[in-house]
Structures are given as structure tokens and as C-alpha cells.
Amino acid sequence: MPHVHTISGEQLSLEAIEAILQERQTLALSEEAEQRIVSCHTYLQQKISSTDKSIYGINTGFGALYHKRIAQPDLGQLQRNLLMSHACGTGPEVPQDVVKLMLLLKIQSLAYGHSGVQLQTVKRLIDFFNREVYPVLYQQGSLGASGDLAPLAHLCLPLIGMGDVSFQGYKLASEHVLEMFSWGPIELKAKEGLALLNGTQFMAAYGVLALLQSRRLSRQADVIGALSLDAFAGSLEPFNALIHRLRPHKGQVDTASAVRTVLEGSELMQQEKQHVQDPYSFRCIPQVHGATKDTLSYAAQVFLTEVNAVTDNPIVFPEEDEILSGGNFHGQPLALALDYMAIAVAELGSISERRTYQLIAGLRHLPEFLVATPGLDSGFMISQYTAASIVSQNKQFCSPASIDSITSSNNQEDHVSMGANAATKLYQVVQNVERILAIELLHAAQALEFRRPLKTSPALEKLVAAYREKVSFMPADRVLHYDIVASVAFLRESPLWQDM
């Protein structure tokens, strides 16, 4: 039976999120969280019935229509209309792992009891999560300002029996899945549609998943870079702790230490070096990889704050007897962090491709293109092309989205973050860097064979032996596409990475 994660209002850590997703944990609300949700909803309904005051989005229109007053009997229809009218997403479908995390983050935000939603609404989102009923969302449509309106509209349409969902590998109309589980459509109350749509869960989910994947890639880049260094007959001198003591950026220090550790006991590294210095792609691994680590540390703080925040509007404060309209849905903090992460992670790919190139260049007694008969065989010539192509695409993806803005809603929403575009670009950059590192691993393992009988470190020999069970040495030309696919799978699946 999967472990149950109880949402109680306590902070959700990035490690907890990773465990929930990897272990396929189910969700439940604590009694305290249920009480907060009920108390806030009750307060809001009483407030609406006892005041003639206009309260944005509750008894008024939305955006530039804020000045339109809505009659009491129409408040529920107002929220239903909001979900339908804002479901304007288009483009490719959002990956299910992102949708699953969006559900978790929306539930976490609503559980703080400041959104005025019904308890049954939150529980139905939990039902979707636990039963693996994933609403179908689209990547295009959010400006990242009034929250992620279009994606969140599609996320929540199935609550009212509209839109599509993915269930057990099938794309179905949500009404059929509701019938399957004997779930009636939710009858939205005042403010609920707005609470569901206003929020940054689309940007945040993409960002958190990219961050978790980037942390893994950062560790793997150090290990693969170390293997390339040894196969290239490079020097360990640039990784000496004395150097980094004088420029102690944490990421730089940690990277140098990681490379020294993984190369401990290498016979190749103990050989006398014929070259005074290595190219920057080897010599400056601590500085480049380290800067990425520091960027990821910054991004982690941003996303840790965001996943534990209330980002809808207006926000209900029952104890203070206040309903306040503000801008917590604006995605600027995320947009900047997403762009920064994309640049930093892309650099792991950029320097990796340069090491890949150095390994095939016929330098330091390695054969050209890492094949015994270059000319007859092209060897690893074109796999380097592939890496170079992906690096170039990343450069295009790394143009920052957060410096852009466009006016919407009759100039009421006159500055937007474009964080959603930053999020989807980052997600692609991360997938690209994984492929680039997989290609470097393919090249480094091949190059190592030309150094035999000398061995690299015990840790790397163990890794290479496991890798060789998936990807064999290439004595002559073959279709390398399959090797690249297998290398990507090895990066994702091998348990050995956790110990390195």
C-alpha cells in the first residue's frame, strides 16, 4: 500500500514533494486543515450575505469587468462561467507529471484556509490525485500574471464535469470518469472559481520538477565530467582544495570536492601528465558546474516559498475579518528564477558538449572520433553534432521570457510576468541537457577503453561496468540513436548515481 501524505498546513519541502511523486503516495487532509477550510468558507458565505459592499470576483465581474456588480442568485453561475470562459489553453498537452504536481500544489495552497472554497472541492481534487485522474491541460495560454488562468481552468473543469482527463492511459470526457466513480459535479459557490484559477501552480509545478531533475543532472555532470577528465588524460591539479579555498563559492568548492572524491584511486590519474594545462571545459569544471549549483540553491528557496504560499485573489482572513484584493498571483518571482535556472542548467550542457568534442578530436593519443579505423568508420563524429545541435537550441530557449510583458484585460492587467513561457522553456532545456550529458557519457566510456589496461577509479569502474550492460563498446560503426536512448535511460534509472 502506498504511504499517505497528510496535508496539515505545515510547510511542504522539496524532498517531501519528490517522495510523494516517486513513491506514488496518496494525499489526505488533517483535521486541522479541514477545519480551516470549513471555517473560511463559512465566514465568507456569512460575509457575502450580510454586506452590500462590492468584493472583487465574489460579487463583481473579473479583470476589467470589476465594476460590474453581480446579483446574489447569480454568484454560483459567475464562478462556473469563469471556469468555462478561461479554459482557452492550446498547444501541446502538459505532461502528466506536471499535472499531478499542479494538483498537489493547488491542494496545498487551498488547505491554508484563506481561499473560501468548500471542503468538498478540495477533497475532489484529492480524489483526482489519488485515483490518478489527470485533467488534460495545454502548455500555451498563461501570461503568468493573474495566476496561470488558462491552465488552471483546464485543471479544474473536471470538478464541474467538463473538459477532458487522462485515466489509465485513455483520454476521456470528465463526465464519464465522474460517473465511473459515482462522483457528482461540484456546484461552485461564491469565489470558488476564482480561488481555483488564480494561482501560480502551473509555473510552480514546472519549476519544481525542473529543479528536482536539475539537481540530479548537476550531480551526474560532475561524475561524467570526471570520467571524461580521466579518459582525456587530464590533470586533477585544478581541483586541489587550496585553489578553491581562495575563491570559496560554495558550488565551486563542492564541485571540486565531488570530482576529487569520485576519482580517488584512479590509476590513470596517477600517471605523469604530458600537458601543463587542460582546456577550460575540463580545468574549469568547478567554476562552471559550481555556478550552476549556486543558482539551483537560489531557485530552491524561491520555489520552496512559492509552494507553501497562498497565491489566489482576493484572500480571505477570517480572524482579522478582512477580504483583501492584492497581487499574490503575479508570477514575477518565479519568472526570474525560471529564466535564471534555464541559463544555469544550459551551461552544464554547453561545457559538456565541449568535453565531448575534445574527446573525439584525436588528441592525447586517443583515435580520431574514438574508433580504431577512422575513415572507414565515422565513429562518434555525428553524435557530437547532435550534442552541438541541442546546445544551440538551448541558447535559443535561454532568451529570458521575464523581460517581456504585454497588456491584457483592457489595460487593467498592464504588466505580466510571462513566467509560464519561462517555465515551459526551462522544462525543455532540462530534457535537452540530460541528452547532452548522455552523449558525453557515451563518448567518455568509449574513450576509456583506449586507455586500457589502466583503470580509472573504483567508483567510476563500477559505474562504467553497469553502463556497459546497457551500452556496449563500439568497435565499428552502428546506429548510435539506440545508444543515446539507452544512455538517457541509464541516467534516469541506474541506482548507482545515488551513491556518487
| pLDDT bucket at 266, cuts 50 / 70 / 90 | very high
3-state secondary structure 266-301: CCCCCCCCCCCCCCHHHHCHHHHHHHHHHHHHHHHH
Position with higher pLDDT, 202 vs 418: 202
Residue 256 has pLDDT above 90, yes or no: yes
Among 476, 470, 461, 466, which Cα is nearest to 488's? 470
pLDDT, position 133: 98
User: How many Å apart are CA 9 and CA 74, to the nearest integer?
Assistant: 32
User: How many Å apart are CA 115 and CA 108, to the nearest integer?
Assistant: 11
User: How many Å apart are CA 256 and CA 244, to the nearest integer?
Assistant: 8
pLDDT, position 464: 98
pLDDT, position 139: 97
pLDDT, position 33: 96
CATH superfamily placement of domain 4-199: Fumarase/aspartase (N-terminal domain) (1.10.275.10)
Q: At what angle do helices 201-231 and 96-110 cross, to 10 degrees?
A: 130
So which residues are the catalytic ones?
Answer: 56
| pLDDT bucket at 408, cuts 50 / 70 / 90 | confident
- Classify domain 206-499 by CATH number: 1.20.200.10
| pLDDT bucket at 150, cuts 50 / 70 / 90 | very high
Which region among 48-52, 157-161, 438-442 has the lowest average model confidence (pLDDT)? 48-52
Q: What is the pLDDT of residues 178-191, one digit of tens each?
A: 999 999 999 999 88
Residue 499 has pLDDT above 90, yes or no: no
Residue 484 has pLDDT above 80, yes or no: yes
Q: What is the pLDDT of residues 453-470, one digit of tens each?
A: 999 999 999 999 999 999
Query: What are the extents of the domains in the chain?
Result: 4-199, 206-499
Q: What is the pLDDT of residues 283-337, one digit of tens each?
A: 999 999 999 999 999 999 999 999 999 999 899 999 999 999 899 999 999 999 9
pLDDT, position 76: 76
Among 429, 424, 421, which Cα is nearest to 401's? 421
Other beta carbons less than 10 A from residue 499's beta carbon = 8
